[in-house]
Structure 1
Amino acid sequence: MTGILDSVNQRTQLVGQNRLELLMFKLMGRQRYGINVFKVKEVLQCPRLTSMPNLHRLVKGVAHIRGQTISVIDLSLAVGGRPTTDVENSFVVISEFNRSVQGFLVSSVERIINMHWESILPPPEGAGRSNYLTAVTNIDDELVEIIDVEKILAEISPVDEAMNGELMSQIAEVEKKEEKKIVRRILIADDSAVARKQVQRAIESIGFESILVKDGKEAYNKLLEMAAEGDIRDQISLLISDIEMPEMDGYTLTAEIRRHPDLKDLHVILHTSLSGVFNQAMVERVGANEFIAKFNPDELGTAVKTAISGGKK
């Protein structure tokens, strides 16, 4: 099963082309789901799981894999379905999200599909606020659901969203030195409702307002609207954008911003759960100012301070 990912290093050529590859899998039913291949480290037959005291109810057990002790999350149960029963014949998708490695227990793993982000769409409006989807797509006339993993991980292990109090005073000092008044408003683009709220609460803790959008296309359209009304830098200080988003990813969004004469000077921070996958060279290629792995509020706050001080750290 690990062979399904053997050529993952060759897939880096998709980066910046608004494309991705989805690893398809099923849970306890016929519905198909997908996860970005770049977030997957390995797929293997479920090893023996060990139960431990006080495990979260969504964690099926822990496994010792490649020298690491990894929590294995019952993905079916996590999205509100039935618990996985045939564990021995199930698979574990080892993935890296938000600086941590975890396993997702799935019933079966199928194939990898090469997709264009324009074919990945936001969940339908009727899905409700409590759904666990960030996107949907159609493959072979069948709806495929992309799960909001960040929402699941936030339920299992909540993070502290407040920034270090010293950052607020440091930003105030930066403001005193700047000749032009700093615009305390930031555009945040992320397809995960949980991630959007995390960033919003973090930046509000240091006195900034936020404008929230759900994907790169919506962010770009919002920026065009603002640019039509006047200088973009008089309306927002910077953009904090996820990379993985329906319709337009963060790399494509950044490249489009750099090509537009009224937007090209906007400070862009790429803030992503794809930790340890993309390097600084790729960030520079599309023109982003900074790349931060989710979710460390102090690192994010430091990046905001750098942005409003003209790139001075």
Structure 2
Amino acid sequence: MSKLMSSIDQRTKLVGENRLEILMFKLGSRHTFALNVFKVREVITLPKLNRMPGSHSHLTGVINYRGKSIPIIDLRTAIQLKGSAENYEANNVIITEYNRSVQGFLIGQIMHIVNTSWSDIQPPPSNVGKNHYLTAITRIKFEEREELVEIIDVEKVLAEIVHYDTSISEDVLDHQISTELKGRKILVVDDSATARSQIRETVTQLGVEVIEDHNGLAALKRLKAWVDAGKSIDDEILMMFTDAEMPEMDGYRLTAEVRDDPRMSHLFIALNTSLSGSFNEAMVKKVGCDRLISKFQPDLLVQVLQERMRAALET
């Protein structure tokens, strides 16, 4: 237990500091890729794989991991990496926890874990189109040279393998409150277009309008522009859903900046994150979010939205 608490304390020190650690690795090309260490449980050498006939083409099989069977996804195939992979040996597995599920990603050479700032993480260039599998890029100094590192949009990878149902259960709906939601606006902040789409497809069923920003800095600029113009935050949006990990400014720092501005410090903020497990309560307590929602749970999204609408009507 003491080891677990030490790990929680170490990781939560990054929360609110606009910093992250990334695990860098290769996929049989000159490119260097990365995942946020916060999502990584551990890295293991590829054990015996059990093949599953008829499974998705990106799944290489399942392994026994700590007494449970978990799927292994060929990350090179999943992001549709082109070109030759000569001498590529996919013999490592990154065990990750996303959206309340555990899976492994088959990769090649492990390089480094680097502590960096979200301010140094940039969105992919706009000219790469919409079909890429990146949420961000950055440059890291590595062995006397600067390396371009591409951070993978794991939520998009998983959404293409696992179907996410955006329908809302009838027993969740409070029809009196949901009627009041029609025409209301919310701000959704997430670097993953897939994640933004999931929220949008869910809440628009209730007539809620969605304003989208792809990172915390863009969202903060929007919020400050409203209050600088003398507008009331409550007149512009009902609440904000924000991801945790985003380029330029993460959701933790965004929340802290909002709480520090008396003109909008009361804004209802729900942290909507693919992070799950032992760190959630510590993170929410530290950054001051009103609610935490582990992706992707449409019914819980609607419950939180209705709770916020109910509270707004009572004030």
Q: How high is the TM-score relative to the length of structure 2?
A: 0.90
2:23 aligned counterpart, secondary structure: strand
1:12-43 superposed Cα distances (whole Å, 9 cap, x missing partner): 31111111000111101121111111100010
**TM alignment of 1:240-259, pairs within 5 A:** 240-259=241-260
Partner letter of residue 157 of structure 1? V
Q: How many residue pairs align between the two structures?
A: 302
2:73 aligned counterpart, secondary structure: strand
Q: Is the Cα–Cα contact under 8 Å of residues 183 and 236 in structure 1 kept in the other structure?
A: no
CA distance in 2, matches of 1:64, 1:154: 23
Q: Is the Cα–Cα contact under 8 Å of residues 240 and 268 in structure 2 kept in the other structure?
A: yes
> What is the CA distance between 1:277 and its match in structure 2?
4.2
**TM alignment of 1:99-248, pairs within 5 A:** 99-140=100-141, 141-170=146-175, 172=177, 175=180, 184-227=184-227, 228-248=229-249
**TM alignment of 1:253-292, pairs within 5 A:** 253-292=254-293
1:182-213 superposed Cα distances (whole Å, 9 cap, x missing partner): 86110000000000000011111122010011
> What is the CA distance between 1:284 and its match in structure 2?
2.7
Structure 1 pair 173–162 and aligned structure 2 pair: CA distance change class (3 A): closer
| Unaligned runs of at least 5 residues, structure 1 | 1-5, 177-181
2:3 equivalent in structure 1: none
Q: Is the Cα–Cα contact under 8 Å of residues 171 and 305 in structure 1 kept in the other structure?
A: no
1:121-159 superposed Cα distances (whole Å, 9 cap, x missing partner): 100111110000000000122210000000010000111
| Unaligned runs of at least 5 residues, structure 2 | 1-5
Partner letter of residue 206 of structure 1? L
2:255 aligned counterpart, secondary structure: helix
CA distance in 1, matches of 2:176, 2:200: 17
Identity rate of aligned residues, in percent? 45
> What is the CA distance between 1:280 and its match in structure 2?
2.3
> What is the CA distance between 1:88 and its match in structure 2?
6.9
Q: Is the Cα–Cα contact under 8 Å of residues 14 and 20 in structure 1 kept in the other structure?
A: yes
1:204-224 superposed Cα distances (whole Å, 9 cap, x missing partner): 112201001100001111111
CA distance in 1, matches of 2:88, 2:252: 38
Q: Is 1:68–2:68 an aligned residue pair?
A: yes
Root-mean-square deviation over aligned CA pairs: 2.3
2:94 equivalent in structure 1: 93
> What is the CA distance between 1:270 and its match in structure 2?
0.3
> What is the CA distance between 1:173 and its match in structure 2?
6.7
> What is the CA distance between 1:89 and its match in structure 2?
5.5
7-16 vs 22-31, which deviates more?
7-16
Partner letter of residue 152 of structure 1? V
Structure 1 pair 87–101 and aligned structure 2 pair: CA distance change class (3 A): farther
Q: How high is the TM-score relative to the length of structure 1?
A: 0.90
> What is the CA distance between 1:276 and its match in structure 2?
1.2
Q: Is the Cα–Cα contact under 8 Å of residues 21 and 112 in structure 1 kept in the other structure?
A: yes
CA distance in 2, matches of 1:100, 1:86: 32
